[in-house]
Amino acid sequence: MKIQHIFFDLDNTIWDHRKNAYLTIKDLFEKEEITLKYAIDFEEFHSVYHEINERLWEKIRDGIIGKEYLRKHRFYDTFKHFNVDDEELSMYFEEHFLDKILNHNELVEGAEYILEYLKAKNYTLHIISNGFKEVTERKCILSGIDKYFQTITSADSVGVRKPKPEIFEYSLGLSDAKKENSILIGDDWIADVVGAQSFGMDVIFFDVLNENREEEGLKIIKHLLQIKEYL
């Protein structure tokens, strides 16, 4: 069956979460004069934060922890790594991070072009995100990409996250699409590729981190413009 519906992951597939998070944390770091107060280098701090945050998101995806645990620990554990045990400071960073990140709305290179291209070819576009509901829709609106998408599904709306089949089922039901005429594009091997394949839906793996995974018949891109090779 011909593809009619294209489902995109949001963070780091369309909306450049890594870049926007970096800029937001840098703003907070400088505002609170962390280098001056604690002699912590920002690049080192961000590197540790990134590793901790990625691990916590993997645990959320796998159902090991909930979002409140992540919110309590990602900055606290980062500061603790630098021997700063300060819950108040950590929560200040967390609360302001979720709010201020929406001041930065950089898109992944080629995102707007490819969305225009797909829209012009009359594909119906959707979002399936593992992110928090309270920020997912605002990211789309504030970055100006909401106009491209018929539906936006965040994991909080369903109560489960990719790779669980329920979130795919929910999003297809919302969009009146069938898995046979749908494809998912995403950057997370487990959440997006394994999730879509297990659900029985075609997938394009956006190998943004050059993981160089190989699987017979799998569609792989390194840049969003390469979507044109498949659609």
State both tokens at 24. 């937001």
What percent of the chain has pLDDT above 70? 100
Check residue 99 and give its pLDDT: 87
The predicted-structure confidence for 108-163, as pLDDT tens digits, reads as follows 999 999 999 999 999 999 999 998 888 899 999 999 999 999 999 999 889 999 99
> Rounded to an integer, what distance in angstroms lies between the CA atom of residue 45 and that of residue 125?
37
Mean pLDDT of the 72-80 span: 98
The structure tokens listed for 218 are 């799998």
At 203, which helix (H) or strand (E)?
strand 202-206
**Closest of 145, 122, 2, 130 to residue 56, by C-alpha:** 130
Cα–Cα distances (Å) from 203 to 4, 5, 155, 192, in that order, read 13, 12, 19, 8
Average pLDDT of the chain? Answer: 96
Q: What is the pLDDT of residues 27-69, one digit of tens each?
A: 999 999 999 999 999 999 999 999 999 999 999 999 999 989 9
pLDDT confidence tier of residue 214, bands split at 50, 70 and 90 = confident
pLDDT at 230: 97
pLDDT band at residue 1 using 50, 70 and 90 as cut-offs: confident
> What b/e sequence results for 79-105 when a residue is b if at least 16 CB atoms lie within 10 Å of its CB, and e otherwise?
bbeeebeeeebbeebbebbeebbeebb
Cβ-proximal residues to 138 (8 Å cutoff; 6+ apart), any chain: 102
Q: What integer pLDDT is reported at residue 206 of this predicted model? A: 98
Helices and strands (DSSP H and E) totals, the chain = 10, 6
- Return the sign of the alpha-carbon dihedral for residues 95, 98, 103, 104: positive
Q: Are 127 and 140 in contact (CB under 8 A)?
A: yes
Q: How many CB atoms lie within 10 A of CB 147?
A: 10
